[in-house]
A and B are shown apart, each in its own frame.
Chain A
């Protein structure tokens, strides 16, 4: 585990020292601040509207951070040839993949804490209450969903040569799941066989990001807390996808020639 943490530590250090990471962060905060200042009539509906847009923005920003930072990790190591001295050390390729994943996931977790804390302060300044546990449930599932996205981007970085094509494909997949994932079962019902079976299998095999995405409603509409048992189960569901994509990434990387 020490080697995995060492790799993760360097990933965190890189992202902490890169300037482009902060640009997106500051941009999101500025837009949220502008949105927050829109509540001039102290109307609850307007506050909800602002909260919804701000949370959507946080989701988009976190997806951009997760995909762009992960997609370039291994390709950059190959391009700059830092991968060769690294893998000449007693570090297995599996440890490298897991370390890279962990580093990106921790960075996204830290970014989420900052985003949600900032959003919480902004919302509390208008509503004068802060449902901390609702935030915790939404942020936890958001972080788990980002874990799946990071594992998917890491897998893509081993399949596609260019980080840009990998990032585009990952964005398209995640956007398609968020927008269409929940309707696939209804679509299956309306289609004849064998398309029905294909659409059904797709419905049951994709990671349903729309569930953690909908957790925003806990904060937007001040809904009561969800039983923690379901939150942990959903966490486990997403963890299974993380494990699947990471295993696939490790298997592909193990066979890849580095020359």
Chain B
């Protein structure tokens, strides 16, 4: 269970998502089956599952990219289809490339305009975000000249430009070297210390065990386990990786 004292920031109720199969137009693939979970303010929530479990699909519905077949998702009590619901969230997609013809500073300024942040405040936030991700030295360079790790850090900076209350990260360390992963982990830890709510999907279970308060494990579109990391580990008397393997049926 999540913290009953803290307000619920994200609420998923009986979510069901179906896709028509391309080969068989009449049949559908159920990507998410009646998923219900909630995330409280200040939590770091790990969203786990093997590839194809329905994690990205759930995130896509959370952000209004895909319509749910059934159920509902509320962000800060507002339907995700309303642009206002996205005013207080930051999002880092998996493997995203940013506008190659822009510099990091121009990209952040563009996104700040979409949040209608006043200009002096924008300057301050750009400085703070670039300092946090250690890209101050490259702020005037075109993004096409960045390494993969630097692009991922620009992604984190853009997700933080509006000083979000909820940060949604889809595999933030995928494809990064150990140093890059450590830096991303440090940033998440710092955000956690600042009291931000972080919802992130990851395959790095060691990392999830280190930074997350609670996790949910999804398999074949169904919620198989949910709870505090400490409780799950204590219940199964093993580490999170082994808990994960047991829950998805690869280990007894």
**A210-259 at interface with B (beta carbon < 8 Å):** 257-259
Whether B66 contacts A257 by the Cβ 8 Å rule is yes
Provided the pairs A6-B110, A13-B106, A90-B86 are in contact, do residues A259 and B97 lie with their beta carbons within 8 angstroms?
Answer: no
Given A13-B102, A258-B60, the answer on whether A81 and B86 have CB atoms closer than 8 Å is no
Q: Is the CB of A81 within 8 A of B99?
A: no
Contact status B101-A13, CB under 8 Å = yes
Interface string of B201-228 (1 = CB under 8 A from A): 0000000000000000000000000000
A89/B67 contact (C-beta < 8 A), A13-B102, A259-B60 known: no
- At the interface, yes or no: B92 with Cβ under 8 Å from chain A? yes
Q: Which residues of B contact A82 (CB under 8 A)?
A: 96-99
Of the residues B65, B86, B87, B102, contact of A10 by C-beta under 8 Å: B102
Query: Does B5 lie at the interface of the complex (its beta carbon under 8 Å from any beta carbon of A)?
Result: no
B113 & A3 in contact (Cβ 8 Å cutoff): yes
Given B65, B99, B155, B162, which contacts A259 in the complex, CB threshold below 8 Å? Answer: B65
A80 interface contact, C-beta 8 A: yes
Q: A residues within 8 A CB of B101?
A: 13-14, 17-18
Partner of B158, one of A10, A80, A85, A259: A85
CB contacts (< 8 Å) of B66 on chain A: these are: 257-259
Q: Is B84 an interface residue (CB 8 A)?
A: yes
The residue in chain A whose Cβ has the minimal distance to the Cβ of B97 is: A80
Q: Which of B94-135 contact A (CB under 8 A)?
A: 95-99, 101-102, 106, 110-111, 113-116
Q: How large is the interface on B (under 10, 10 to 19, 20 to 34, 35 or more residues)?
A: 35 or more
Could you tell me if A10 and B99 are in contact, using CB atoms closer than 8 angstroms?
yes
Cα(A18)–Cα(B89), bound, Å:
32
Contact of A258 among B65, B86, B116, B158 (CB under 8 A): B65
Complex Cα spacing A192 to B64, Å? 51
> Number of contacts between A and B (CB, 8 Å)?
78
Tell me the complex Cα distance, A82–B143, Å: 13
User: Would you call A89 and B65 a contact (CB within 8 A)?
Assistant: no
B114 A89 Cβ-Cβ under 8 A: yes
User: B83: which of A13, A85, A92 is its contact (CB, 8 Å)?
Assistant: A92
Query: Does chain A have a CB within 8 A of B48?
Result: no
Do the beta carbons of B95 and A85 come within 8 Å of each other? no
> Which partner residue on chain B sits nearest A87 by CB separation?
B65
1/0 per position for B162-186, CB-CB distance to A under 8 A?
1000001000000000000000000
Q: How large is the interface on A (under 10, 10 to 19, 20 to 34, 35 or more residues)?
A: 20 to 34
* A88, B86: Cβ atoms closer than 8 Å: yes
Cβ distance A118 to chain B, nearest Cβ, rounded Å: 26
- Once bound together, how far apart are the Cα atoms of A9 and B110, in whole Å? 9
Cross-interface CB contact of A88 among B89, B99, B106, cutoff 8 Å: B89
Contacts of B64 in A (CB 8 A): 87
Most B C-beta atoms less than 10 A away, residue of A3, A84, A91: A84
A2 at the interface (CB under 8 A from B): yes
- Could you say which residues of chain A place their CB within 8 Å of the CB of B197? none
Q: Which residue of A lies closest to B57 (CB)?
A: A259
Most buried by B among A3, A17, A85: A85
CA of A92 to CA of B114, assembled, Å: 10
Give the shortest distance, in Å, between A158 (CB) and chain B (any CB): 15
**Chain B residues closer than 8 Å to A92, beta-carbon distance:** 83
Decide yes or no: A6 and B65 within 8 Å by CB, A17-B101, A85-B158 being known contacts: no
Residues facing A in B53-101 (CB within 8 A) are 56-57, 60, 63-67, 83-84, 86-87, 89, 91-93, 95-99, 101
**Chain B residues closer than 8 Å to A257, beta-carbon distance:** 60, 65-67
Query: In the bound complex, do residue B96 and residue A85 qualify as a contact, i.e. CB atoms below 8 Å apart?
Result: yes
Residue with the highest number of chain A CB atoms closer than 10 Å, among B98, B111, B113, B159 = B113
* Distance (whole angstroms) from the CB of B128 to the closest CB of chain A: 18
- Is B158 within 8 A of A6, CB to CB? no
CB distance from A98 to the nearest CB of B (A): 14
From A14, A85, A86, A88, residue with most partner B Cβ within 10 Å: A88
A258: which B residues are within 8 A, CB to CB?
60, 65-66
Most chain-B Cβ atoms within 10 A of its Cβ — which of A9, A87, A89, A92?
A89
- A positions within 8 Å CB-CB of B: 2-3, 6, 9-10, 13-14, 17-18, 80-82, 84-92, 257-259
Interface CB pairs A-B, < 8 A, 13 = A6-B110, A10-B99, A13-B102, A14-B99, A81-B93, A81-B97, A82-B98, A87-B64, A88-B93, A90-B84, A90-B86, A257-B60, A259-B56
A-B pairs with the 5 shortest C-beta distances?
Answer: A88-B91, A6-B113, A258-B65, A89-B114, A90-B83
Other than A81-B93, A84-B91, A89-B111, give 4 A-B pairs with Cβ distance below 8 A.
Answer: A14-B99, A82-B97, A84-B65, A91-B83
